[in-house]
Amino acid sequence: MTRYDYDLIVIGAGSGGVRASRFASLKYGKRVAVVEKNRVGGTCVMRGCVPKKLLVYGAHFAETFQDAQGYGWSYHNVDFSWSKLIEAKETELNRLEMVYHRLLKDAGVDELMGTGTLIDAHTVDVDGTKFTAEHILLAMGGWPRMPDIPGISNVITSNEALELEELPKQIAIVGGGYIAVEFAGIFNALGVDVRLIIRRENVLRGFDSEVCATLRDEMTKKGIDIISERKVISIAQNNKKVALQLDQGDQVDSDLVMYATGRRPNTANLGLEEVGVKLSDKGAIIVDAYSNTAIDSIYAIGDATDRINLTPVALHEGMAVTQTLYEGTPTAVDYTNVPSAVFSQPPVCSVGMTESEARQQNDIDVYKSNFKPMLHTLSGRDERTMMKLIVARQSDKVLGVHMVGPDAPEVIQGFAVALKSGATKAQFDATIGIHPTAAEEFVTMREPASETL
Ligand code: NDP
């Protein structure tokens, strides 16, 4: 007879938690329960990647209608209904939620609905009932983080933006990261007057500087007003407008204000530190290379650990933990060459080093292409695609692949495999292109550009 109710209790039924639960149960025959206080599916499925991408698709039709005219189409009375889009998105999320419930049921994983709080190294309290497990996996994800400034209660976050009853005429978005630029693109395409307020010179910290500059140009051409190097110092609701007081004395008035200033791990008030799990000063769970916390029987994955906060990374972390626990082979996730996409308009995708990162460690050559995509020769749209390869001169290894332009995330996925396999520039050159595509540019760049940084 076993001492515990379960072999594994997972707290959080988001992407990482569900993947780990199903693997532990289906692949290793373990007795597993997953605790969830909200909707099964977590941030990615319910409040992030999935609903956001549906809105990106919905918004992009606005440009498609315009571009079609260059191809001989004419039309009358084109109409858009935000409420229909939101309703359709919600129907899809409900369907996905049911799929997740079914996947867990079919895998034999028990769902424990409620808030999971740690009691000790093997016990979780779920709304007053205690359950024990040999191992506990913390996968509680994150939540929008906003600065503590006067009037902050007058703003919304991406959570509310995904469920707005009607489109505002104007929106001011504070932040220049993934969420800010993605929502700026959605709202702008749908005809909302968008201002993006960033505290740095440019958007998307951490990406290649030319990627950031290209995206900024394209967003600006599409009509987004980017107000850079400004901080919001206070917020007030004045009649029907929200007024943002900026640090250099200027003020921005807007119908609606959305903050996208990062996310914090969901780790407060769950008994973690009381049990001995260590947290960073940002509230992230501190883990070793195998996602083990300071307590032997407790592991943690995904946004709660604030490593690389992307769904596919959390999936890998979840699978690695089950391998570590149930195959007897300590398995660490390899965080090199993790591709990253931003579903801005146009989208961005990168894998590997930026030019400035690569220059710090290597002698490099940079190959670049900047062109008008074929679609826009007839559409007449003033939009350019930028592609860039970073290559180590001595080893000829491709260190970075970057693209801003239509379908960039679809294009880069395959190049991520090439980088993971250690591909050289000579191997890129020996690859025959697919014509006519934008992607073929990556295998036809022959001459390095002169130094840009
Ligand atoms: P990010 O960390 O990407 O960006 C936060 C932005 O807010 C930065 O521009 C930052 O500026 C700015 N900021 C932070 N604090 C303040 C402040 N007090 N005042 C003004 N600006 C501030 O966070 P997001 O919220 O956009 O996204 C959270 C995470 O979710 C991402 O890091 C990513 O891991 C994940 N995500 C991934 C997506 C994808 O894969 N497509 C989509 C959406 C989210 P500064 O640069 O100066 O620090």
Strands 116-120 and 123-126 turn out to be antiparallel
Q: Residue 451: what pLDDT?
A: 60
Q: Residue 388: what pLDDT?
A: 98
Q: Which tokens belong to 49?
A: 């990647």
56 pLDDT above the threshold of 70: yes
Q: Assess if residue 339 is contained within a domain.
A: no
Q: Are residues 32 and 170 in the same domain?
A: no
Q: Are residues 247 and 289 in the same domain?
A: no
Nearest CA to 5 out of 123, 121, 139, 126 is that of 123
Place of tokens 């506990």: 136
Nearest CA to 241 out of 172, 318, 342 is that of 172
Strands 129-138 and 6-11 turn out to be parallel
Q: Which tokens belong to 293?
A: 């916390």
Atom number, ligand 1, closest to the C-alpha of residue 343: 41
Cα 69 to ligand 1 centre (Å):
36
Q: What is the mean pLDDT of the chain?
A: 97
Q: Are residues 322 and 372 in the same domain?
A: no
445 pLDDT above the threshold of 70: yes
452 pLDDT above the threshold of 90: no
- Compute φ and ψ for 369, nearest 5 degrees: -145, 135
The tens digit of pLDDT for each residue in 268-281 reads 999 999 999 999 99
Q: Are residues 50 and 162 in the same domain?
A: no
Q: Assess if residue 91 is contained within a domain.
A: yes
Distance CA 256, CA 258 (A): 7
Distance CA 157, CA 146 (A): 9
The tens digit of pLDDT for each residue in 404-444 reads 999 999 999 999 999 999 999 999 999 999 999 999 999 99
Cα 18 to ligand 1 centre (Å):
25
Distance CA 365, CA 278 (A): 43
Atom number, ligand 1, closest to the C-alpha of residue 49: 42
Nearest CA to ligand 1 atom 22: 261
Q: Which tokens belong to 48?
A: 């992030």
Across the range 342-361, mean pLDDT stands at 97
The tens digit of pLDDT for each residue in 1-43 reads 568 999 999 999 999 999 999 999 999 999 999 999 999 999 9
How many domains does the chain contain in total? 3
How far CA 384 is from CA of 93, 201, 219, 451, in Å, comes to 34, 21, 11, 21
Q: Residue 100: what pLDDT?
A: 97
Cα 432 to ligand 1 centre (Å):
38
Q: Residue 318: what pLDDT?
A: 98
Which residue out of 45, 178, 204, 259 has the highest number of ligand 1 atoms within 8 Å of its CB and is therefore the one to mutate?
A: 178
Atom number, ligand 1, closest to the C-alpha of residue 303: 34
395 pLDDT above the threshold of 60: yes
> What's the farthest any 2 CA atoms get from each other in the chain?
74
Nearest CA to 11 out of 38, 48, 30 is that of 38
Q: Are residues 21 and 131 in the same domain?
A: yes
* Terminal-to-terminal C-alpha distance of the chain: 65
Q: Are residues 133 and 275 in the same domain?
A: yes
Q: Are residues 34 and 123 in the same domain?
A: yes
Q: Residue 354: what pLDDT?
A: 98
Atom number, ligand 1, closest to the C-alpha of residue 308: 34
Nearest CA to ligand 1 atom 16: 261
Ligand 1 pocket by C-beta < 6 Å: which residues? 147, 174-180, 182, 198-200, 205, 231, 260-263, 309-310, 341-343
Task: Report yes or no: 194 and 169 within 8 Å, Cβ to Cβ.
Answer: no
Q: Assess if residue 453 is contained within a domain.
A: no
92 pLDDT above the threshold of 90: yes
293 pLDDT above the threshold of 80: yes
What does pTM read for this prediction? 0.97
Q: Are residues 174 and 138 in the same domain?
A: no
Structure confidence at residue 168 as a pLDDT band (50, 70, 90):
very high
Cα 269 to ligand 1 centre (Å):
24
Nearest CA to 273 out of 259, 257, 284 is that of 284
Nearest CA to ligand 1 atom 14: 261
Q: Are residues 162 and 257 in the same domain?
A: yes
- Compute φ and ψ for 77, nearest 5 degrees: 55, 45
Nearest CA to 198 out of 187, 184, 214, 211 is that of 184
362 pLDDT above the threshold of 90: no
Cα 179 to ligand 1 centre (Å):
6
Q: Are residues 56 and 114 in the same domain?
A: yes
CATH code of 393's domain? 3.30.390.30
Domain range for 365: 346-443
CATH code of 61's domain? 3.50.50.60
Q: Residue 2: what pLDDT?
A: 66
- Close Cβ partners of 234 (under 8 Å, ≥ 6 residues apart): 149, 150, 151, 244, 245
- Close Cβ partners of 274 (under 8 Å, ≥ 6 residues apart): 118
The tens digit of pLDDT for each residue in 115-159 reads 999 999 999 999 999 999 999 999 999 999 999 999 999 999 999
Q: Residue 1: what pLDDT?
A: 54
Whether the link from the prior residue into 339 is cis, omega within 30° of 0, is: no
Structure confidence at residue 333 as a pLDDT band (50, 70, 90):
very high
Task: Report yes or no: 306 and 284 within 8 Å, Cβ to Cβ.
Answer: yes
Distance CA 126, CA 35 (A): 7
Cα 174 to ligand 1 centre (Å):
10
Q: Assess if residue 279 is contained within a domain.
A: yes
Q: Are residues 186 and 124 in the same domain?
A: no
Q: Are residues 29 and 112 in the same domain?
A: yes
Q: Residue 360: what pLDDT?
A: 96
Q: What is the 3-state secondary structure (H, E, C) of the chain?
A: CCCCCEEEEEECCCHHHHHHHHHHHHHCCCCEEEEECCCCCHHHHHHCHHHHHHHHHHHHHHHHHHHHHHHCCCCCCCCCCHHHHHHHHHHHHHHHHHHHHHHHHHCCCEEEECCEEEEECCEEEECCEEEEEEEEEECCCEEECCCCCCCHHHCECHHHHCCCCCCCCEEEEECCCHHHHHHHHHHHHCCCEEEEECCCCCCCCCCCHHHHHHHHHHHHHCCCEEECCCCEEEEEEECCEEEEEECCCCEEEECEEEECCCEEECCCCCCHHHHCCCECCCCCECCCCCCECCCCCEEECHHHHCCCCCHHHHHHHHHHHHHHHHCCCCCCCCCCCCCEEECCCCCEEEEECCHHHHHHHCCEEEEEEEECCCHHHHHCCCCCEEEEEEEECCCCEEEEEEEECCCHHHHHHHHHHHHHCCCEHHHHHHCCCCCCCCHHHHHCCCCCECCCC
Of the residues 326, 357, 378, the one at which a domain ends: 326
Of the residues 246, 261, 276, the one at which a domain ends: 261
Q: Assess if residue 451 is contained within a domain.
A: no
316 is catalytic: no
Of the residues 243, 261, 279, the one at which a domain ends: 261
Nearest CA to ligand 1 atom 24: 262
Q: Assess if residue 331 is contained within a domain.
A: no
453 pLDDT above the threshold of 60: no
Partners of residue 4 on adjacent β-strands: none
Q: Assess if residue 115 is contained within a domain.
A: yes
239 pLDDT above the threshold of 90: no
